[in-house]
A and B are shown apart, each in its own frame.
Chain A
Amino acid sequence: MKFINIKNFNLLVASAVFLIIVLPVIMFLNANEEFKEHEEKIGFIILGDITIPGWNKSHYDGIKSACEEFGIKLLVRDNVKENNGECPAAIKDLADSGAGMIFLASYSYSIEAQNIIGEYPNIAFATNSAEVHAKNMTAYFARMYQARYLSGALAGMKTKSNVIGYVAAMSNTEVNRGINAFTLGVQRTNPNAKVVVMWTGSWQDEKVEAQHAERLIKEAGADVLTYHQDEDATAQVAEKYDADFIAYNAILDTKSEHYLTSVVCQWNLYYLDMIQRYLKGEINTVKNHWLGIDRGAIMLSEFSPAVSQKMIIKIDSLKQELINGYLIFEGEIYDNTGKIRCAAGEAISDDTLLEDINWLVKGVEVLE
């Protein structure tokens, strides 16, 4: 072997040197993988079943498509009831699973979770409620009231009895803002019409919703109904009594002429925007984030054949006003107790609209 292997020996040495030099480099590069950005995960907590159309499904579909757009993993916790400790548990669970951002997609979650949000300073929280603030939480919402305004204009044009029924969950800033925008829309096309509101006291209670809808038609004489609930019991009642109705947050699966339109939000656009801001590190640079009709996030769905071309043109022109900067809550506005809420030449600021609408505009009646 003495003589034969000299050549092999040198080659061996060369290969050894090559390996000795190259391997650490490769290992170093591999080790570098650890420094690469960790996989982003988005947590999503919602009240109802994500398969049921309405609030739950529309939000889920929106965030799912947004996450797919960015290639981010979505962690969903649905059927998380409010005010019984399920939400904080879900937050903890998602935090442990590595979620970098958690959406609290029900109004009361932020109130319930406000004490533990501070325990996760590295997680960005997003809520659709503007009532609780935290350093690492952003209130997000769409200017649904813009679409409410347009639907109100349609209802004002459609009503014959000049009574429009409104089944609403409860009196809070969000619901009140919707009722007020809707009423302002009604008054824009039909100054004689009034809006009758009935409170159900719950986001999801079909029975009560149905009862209220029935009373609004029978007792109050409403011939157009709308609602602010997570599901569409009101629409079914209206259909039953041949009343027109405007759905909320869902495009219903019905061909009925009474189904005038739906107030809908393009939640996917919305979530895209939010997640992008999160990824860019901008999520907490603003207190509130409010996406409007100018970005195409809010709209009315396809109109019923019962909606005339004239009505559609009217609504389009109103929509254009909004896009051009018409604020709805500007100029002289009185509440239904006669108190002035906005003077001429003034506009209600976004902050107030998000946090502090505890009144109903003139022209709204509440049916107990």
Chain B
Amino acid sequence: MNEDGFSLSEKYIKKIILQFAMVLTILLLTGFFMRMEVRDLLNTTLEKTMAKQAADLSIVAEERFAKELAELQLAAKYLELHPNEATEKNFLSILKGGNENISVGMMTLDGKAIHGKILSKWDFLRFSSAYRGNEVVDYCAGKGLLFAVPVMHGGNVKAVIYRLYDDSLLTDLFGLAEYSSDLRLLIQERNGQIIIPYKNYGEVDKNFFQNPTIQHGFKIIRERLSTHRSAAVYRESSLGEFFLFATDLPQTNCTMVGYVPWAAVAGDIFRIYTLLLSGGVLMLIVLAMVSAYLFVVRTKAEESDALREAKQAAEDANNAKSIFLANMSHEIRTPINAIIGMNEMILRESQNPDIIDYAQNSSAASETLLSLINDILDFSKIESGKMELVVENYKLSEVVKNLVNMMRPRAEKKNLAFTVQVNPNTENLLFGDSVRIRQIVINFLSNAVKYTRVGSVEFSVDGEKISDDEINLKFTVKDTGIGVHEEDIPKLFNDFERFDAKKNKNIEGTGLGLAITNKLVAMMNGKIEVQSVYGEGSTFTVILPQKIVGNELIGKFEEKPHAAQEKYQPSFIAPDAEILIVDDNEMNLLVATNLLKATQVKVDTALSGMSCLKKLADHHYDLILLDQMMPSLDGVQTLKMARAMEDNLSKDAPIIALTANAISGTREKLIAEGFTDYLSKPIDVKLMEQMLMNYLPAEKVLSSTQEKISSAEKPSEPVGNLINMEKGLEYSAGMTDFYKEFLLKFVSLKAEKQKKLQETFEAGDWKNYTICVHALKSTSLSIGGEKTSEAAKELEKAGKILMAATSSELEKQESAEFINKNHAATMELYDALAAEAEKLAGTL
């Protein structure tokens, strides 16, 4: 998902740009629309303002006319009161003001002029209105602008005086151009004839008024004027943008008309709009940038969220895998334990050396498998953080002894010199997790053995006191093995890492060993040092701080003589004791039962908590081993019910938990639940025997040697020196009945076997003779007839030389002579052994 996100980023950006372009387009359209709207609105508003302004200007124009009329009015009034011809003349000449272009006069009702020239009523249509007693302003093209007022006589009109201005004077006298430099004002008749043009009115202005757009504008104005005092319109013509306006002058037949360039009126206002617009655009850009930024941030946040989720998912998956591995390993351990247990039984019970050999191999393989599984389990535990150290007091000497005992056979098997050096001044009584320490050291030791073909493995133990109650325990393992490249050293402790894969393909292991070791050491606050020369060997040093809990030095390390094929001896026998083992796994029950066979304890089993409870009601047991984890009724529940059960015949019997969860605190927890103690699975025979010895009633526990001595004392007299009974018993797993059986079988088979030996000897059939001698060697040894066996072994050896193709004639002759010389003696020994065996069997 994330990778998609990243790889698509280019496409993504394109998409974003496209979207922003769209948004921008919409914004631009909006802006355009707004600009239009605002401009329209502004122009509409300005049209109204202009119309009002025009109305105001019309008042100015009217005032000029009114002033003119007032002057005449005054004269008329004076003349009404002073009806005298001389006065009239004087007045009129004053009104004329000596201007050639001004005509004044006085006319009577009959159209005659008392003074001045006669005005035609056809030129000035409104003039007759003066005879009705009204003031008149009228215009006639070519004649000029006329002002007339009546001269009254009471309520009647006696005459009319007038003043007529020639066209040439009008602009100077009545022009309104000076009101604004941008404004062009003129006064025209309502029929369109211009009365008072503005200054410099010329061709250009004529063209302006004849422009179709402008004319159309004025047409609209005229329409509006029919119901309005004044009107203005905005026009965009080829000549530019203009406001046109007009207003009628009441009481006259005149209209004031004007225009003003758009910019002169709206320019300043529109600049405010432009200012606002640019501010808005700026804000939009900021908005766009902010949203772009937020978008990017959001995208990034989403990506990192996705990453985090993916990481979490991966971690979860890894954890799940670890948990799965842990569970699997645990599950696998159970059958392996069964295999190991069964092998153990075979080794104990079988008399057949071949089978014992097979079982030993099987056992070794099982151990290897188990250790692999344990590695995985440990690793999983570490991964899932469930690994815990189980700390306790321990003896360093025990640990070292154990390690040496374990490793020596392996080293010797590979013909490697294995030397052990222990500093005798090292503290012996320590506190720590001895099991894990052993695991750590075993790892280094087994690696040393594994990767060394020729040479030696040196193991040394030392301790460096760092305080009164703490030492740095130091284990050093030095080998002459294949070594490690220097650059690979840091990788040594990586998970699953193995070097020279091809070269080391025959070497078994998970590759987890050192990783686990490393982690365990880290958990103990210790450290690992590695020195290595590739091809020459390595030295691994582990330093672990450990608490001192006693005042004892380890002293000189004495290696216990190694007994490779040491036969198992039970640590006690308790023929009268009865115990119950409860486990839901039948195999486990079988193993446990068989492992306890040697102790002669009577074992009963139950496959579930329920059947356990039933058995407890029927029978008394001295001790109960109770599996903690079972379906339906688990260990703890079973325990509680058993304790609460009234008809429990084994109420006081100790109940020991069997648990696979051997982590720290388990013991305390189980004891708190009511268990007497616990045993961790897989069951360690020694630990189990120890547990039984501790908790079985003391009177029922007998020491195994005690029993052996008592049984050995009686037959010791008749027995000769040919049979080593101890050895014999060992081959019978210490069981005298087995041994007796062996002895009797040996005796019964003797006649037949001896006969065959004799026959082949006499016939010189060395091949079959050798086979017979070999059989004698084995069977003798199995009953403890060491001397006889030794003699047979010599004969077998000679026989083999005789048979071997590679042997020289001299060797063959010598061997033949040897056989001839010793055959009779061996036969005697055979007879004596059989007699002694028969005697011994009788005593057992």
Residues on A lying within 8 angstroms of B by beta carbon are 2-3, 6-7, 10-11, 13-15, 17-18, 21-22, 25, 28-29, 32, 70, 276, 279-282, 285-286, 324-325, 327, 330-331, 342-343, 345-352, 356
Contacts and interface: CB of A to CB of B under 8 A. Distances in A.
- Of B34, B37, B156, B251, most buried by chain A (CB within 10 Å of CB) is B156
B225 interface: yes
Given A276-B226, A282-B229, A285-B251, A346 B109 contact: yes
B513 to A, nearest CB: 46
B23 A3 contact: no
A356 B155 CA distance: 9
Contacts of B680: none
Nearest to A285: B250
A347 B131 contact: yes
Contacts of B523: none
B157 A346 contact: yes
15 contacts: A10-B20, A14-B23, A17-B30, A25-B34, A25-B38, A282-B248, A286-B251, A325-B131, A343-B156, A345-B108, A346-B157, A347-B131, A347-B133, A349-B132, A350-B133
Contact of B134 (A28, A350, A356): A350
A279 B159 CA distance: 35
The 10 A-B pairs at the shortest CB distance, nearest first, are namely: A349-B133, A352-B155, A281-B229, A325-B128, A279-B227, A346-B156, A282-B250, A14-B23, A10-B19, A350-B132
A327 B133 CA distance: 11
A349 B150 contact: yes
Given A7-B15, A25-B37, A13 B30 contact: no
B110 interface: yes
B19 A347 contact: no
A325 B157 contact: no
Contacts of B226: 276, 279-280
Contacts of A286: 250-251
A276 B227 contact: yes
Nearest to B247: A280
B534 interface: no
Nearest to B152: A349
B153 A346 contact: yes
B30 A22 contact: yes
Contacts of A14: 22-23, 26-27
Given A345-B159, A346-B109, 18 more contacts: A7-B19, A11-B19, A17-B287, A18-B30, A22-B33, A29-B41, A276-B227, A280-B229, A280-B250, A281-B55, A281-B229, A282-B229, A331-B109, A346-B156, A346-B157, A347-B131, A349-B150, A351-B155
Nearest to A280: B229
A350 B152 CA distance: 12
A70 B224 CA distance: 12
Interface in B225-260: 225-229, 248, 250-251
Nearest to A275: B227
Given A349-B155, A352-B156, A280 B228 contact: yes
A332 B337 CA distance: 159
Contacts of B248: 280, 282
A324 B127 CA distance: 11
B41 A347 contact: no
Contacts of A324: 121
Interface in B708-743: none
A28 B38 CA distance: 10
Given A21-B34, A345-B109, A346-B109, A32 B228 contact: no
Given A279-B227, A352-B156, A347 B22 contact: no
A280 B20 CA distance: 54
- Of A10, A18, A348, most buried by chain B (CB within 10 Å of CB) is A10
Nearest to A350: B132
B23 A327 contact: no
B689 to A, nearest CB: 65
Contact of B23 (A13, A21, A342): A13
A330 B225 contact: no
A279 B37 CA distance: 29
Interface string B139-172: 0000000000010110111110000000000000
Interface in B267-290: 284, 287
A280 B153 contact: no
